[in-house]
Structures are given as structure tokens and as C-alpha cells.
Amino acid sequence: MTIKKILGNGAPVKIWTDEVDQSTLDQLSDLSELPFIHKHVAVMPDVHAGIGSAIGSVIPTKGAIIPAAVGVDIGCGMMAVKTSLKASMLPDNLYELRSEIEKRIPHGRTSNGGSGDRGAWSNPIERIAYYWNMFLSDEYEEITTKHPKAKGYNTISHLGTLGTGKHFIEICIDESDYVWAMLHSGSRGVGNRIGSYFIEKAKEEMERYFILNNLPNKDLAYLVEHTEIYDDYVNAVSWAQEFAEFNRQVMMDIVLKCMSEFFPSFTITDKAINCHHNYVAREHHFGASVLVTRKGAIRARKGDLGIIPGSMGAKSYIVEGLGNDESFHSCSHGAGRRLGRNEAKMIYTVADLAEQTKGIECPKDESKIDEIPAAYKDIDQVMGNQNDLVKIKHTLKQVLNVKG
């Protein structure tokens, strides 16, 4: 399903859904007017309004990059592992397993993110120190020495932590009754700081060249290729994406360790899938080398495995890419929000949350109402709209959910 739209006087916009609100269309129209868009903008079926550009947009650019389109949750993505466990081997009550995962992986946010924040390590475990010192610390020092204002307060203390809001850890059952571990998180506070800093630097660059006031939206401020600040940003984004990938790997190691203590005999049967859905990459499309920004989209080249989660009360999917050229080899990153967080809190109650997550071991309190399944689009409709982008390999239904 592809709906081609010409929005304003810009590049074509190709949309894989007919359900798009006006504010999202306005953002897509503004984006399409930028002169360095390559061929067209591809819009996934879970699209909804964001900051700078719509979430669910795939933006190929030649000669420039838009930091706000990449966003501040750089490298946010998913990881999933299939195990040899069968559903029949799980106990009827998974509360103890959920509690153990919650004890071992920092999640949420307290103390306004300051001292004693439950979402950060007070004393990082040995595995985290190894990843940080071996793979991340030296390059981060180079980046922040040159750009001190890009330095975050939580660096190693956020490696291997879940975060808040939409981020989660789940135990799921597939169509053959095999048990999977799955999680969703990104580059945490350190990536947020890098993203926020370079978004402002892009605006400063636009102002310096008298371009800012001529942009359709100031959040579309960009950095121009072959400039030092562009190179510095691409380098910093690449580092944050690496941090995010390690972040997910550390958490998955902990989740599997927890599971092994409850179920000593299980093994991992499939290669782990670890994929970004907020990131930028150099790729070749329609005869040109371009930067592809996927803001709420995953890469779906032919044969690529990816993860498309629904809400905390719906199904999720392991998919295989079909390599659709028109989508720049991309697909959706989830169901996509139907309601804003504040709107969901005004409409629904704790009782509604409990009803919509019946049978799932998960937190069911007021703080999680904004993540209620009804706040999200119908994942089956989203999947139906992109059957030319991916094919379904596995259908997962969660039985345990840990929310940030």
C-alpha cells in the first residue's frame, strides 16, 4: 500500500497509510520543501507528529543532515532473542521474574535524574565498566573535549539502563510457543545531550548564514556536508548509536541471566536481533550515495531481520525485509501513537489499563496510563499497510512487561 502525495511545492512524499492527521501532514510538507531531499520522503504506516519531523519518516538527503530529524533519542531501537523455553515451562505467576528483572536493571527516573535516581547505576557492574572502557570512553572523550557542552552528566551510569516512557523489557511467546526476551531502549541521557547540543548548533549555523528565518520550520535547521561541524555531528551520532547498541546488549545479558536462574536448562536458539529505529546511516539509493535518516523506522533490506512491537497489550512481530526501493528499504518501527500521553491520561483510568493488559504480568498503576494499549494504533492494520515492505517471520505475544 503506497499513497503518493505532493505536499506543497517540495519533493514527493510517499505514505504507507491513509490515516494521517493534519499536523503530521504539515510537518511532512515542511520537510519535503528542503532542497537536499533525495528523490522523495518515505512515510511509514505508524506515522505521527514529532519534533522537527514526523515520527515514522525516512529522509534521504544529499549534502546535508537535519539533527532534529535524527532527534535526541539517538540509536533508540529493539533487541530480541529466541530461547529454547516453551510456554508450558513458565509458571502461572511471573511476578517474581518481573521483580528480579526490575531489581537488576535500573529503570524509570527519580530525583529529577539527579543523585539517587533509580534509573541510573550508583555503582556500575563489571560488565558495564568493560564495555565503557574498551569500546566507548576514548572516543567520547575526544567528542566532548572538542564540544564540552555536548557532555552528559550520566554516561557510564546509564549504560545498561532502560529509561522511561515507551521503553520496555518483555518476555513473549511466539506462534510455536517458544519464549523470547525482547527489549526497547536507546542512548539514554548521553545521547539526549549530544542530540540537543547539535540541534542548537544547527540553528546557530542557519542563523550565521541568514537561512534560519527562511526555513519552513526552525526545527529543520541543518548542517552542510564538508564542514567541520557536520563531520563532528556525524561522528557523535555514530558514537551514540554504538552506545545504544551496547546498552541493549548489556540489558539483554542481565535479562537472560535472570531467566537462567529461574529456568536453568534453557539455551538461546536464534541469533539475537539488535536494530536501531532512530538513526542515520550512509546508504546507496536510486543511483546515489545518501544519508538516510530513519526517525521511527527500521532498515528492511531484502533478508534483514527486524522487530516491530505493538503496545504493551498487543502483539509484536519479528519481520524480514523485502528490500522495497520506494521505502528506501525501510519499514515501521511499531504501532505508532494514536493519542498523546497527556490525552491518554485524561481519557483512561487504572481500571482501563488493568482490563487492557489482562493476563500480562506488568505494572498497572497510574504512572503507566499513558502507555495503555488504546493509546496506540492497531498493530495489525499497520502490518497490513506494509506487506510490500516486510514479511512476518514470528508473531509474539507478551506475558511479562517491565516499563520504564
73 is in an annotated binding site: yes
334 is in an annotated binding site: yes
- C-alpha cell of 219? 526545527
40 is in an annotated binding site: no
- Choose, from 107, 276, 333, 394, the residue flagged as catalytic: 333
Of the candidates 36, 44, 34, 26, the residue with the CA atom closest to the CA atom of residue 10: 34
- Structural contact between residues 81 and 94, judged by C-beta atoms closer than 8 angstroms: no
403 is in an annotated binding site: yes
Q: For this structure, is 333 an active site residue?
A: yes
147 is in an annotated binding site: no
- Structural contact between residues 150 and 233, judged by C-beta atoms closer than 8 angstroms: no
**Cα–Cα distance measured from residue 79 to residue 182, given in angstroms and rounded to the nearest whole number:** 6
310 is in an annotated binding site: yes
312 is in an annotated binding site: yes
CB count, 10 Å around CB of 338?
Answer: 18
52 is in an annotated binding site: no
- Structural contact between residues 239 and 144, judged by C-beta atoms closer than 8 angstroms: no
- Residue showing cell 505532493: 6
**Cα–Cα distance measured from residue 97 to residue 262, given in angstroms and rounded to the nearest whole number:** 8
DSSP letter at 31 equals H
- Structural contact between residues 275 and 309, judged by C-beta atoms closer than 8 angstroms: no
Of the candidates 368, 365, 377, the residue with the CA atom closest to the CA atom of residue 311: 377
Beta strands per DSSP E along 8-139: 13-15, 41-48, 55-61, 64-65, 77-86
314 is in an annotated binding site: no
**Cα–Cα distance measured from residue 222 to residue 46, given in angstroms and rounded to the nearest whole number:** 25
- C-alpha cell of 81? 532473542
Of the candidates 131, 189, 192, the residue with the CA atom closest to the CA atom of residue 161: 189
151 is in an annotated binding site: no
DSSP letter at 43 equals E
Of the candidates 289, 324, 284, the residue with the CA atom closest to the CA atom of residue 306: 324
Residue stretches of the annotated binding site: 73, 167, 184, 277-278, 309-312, 316, 333-336, 403
Residue stretches of the annotated binding site for GMP: 277-278, 309-312, 316, 333-336, 403
Active site residues: 333
Residue stretches of the annotated binding site for Mn(2+): 73, 167, 184, 277
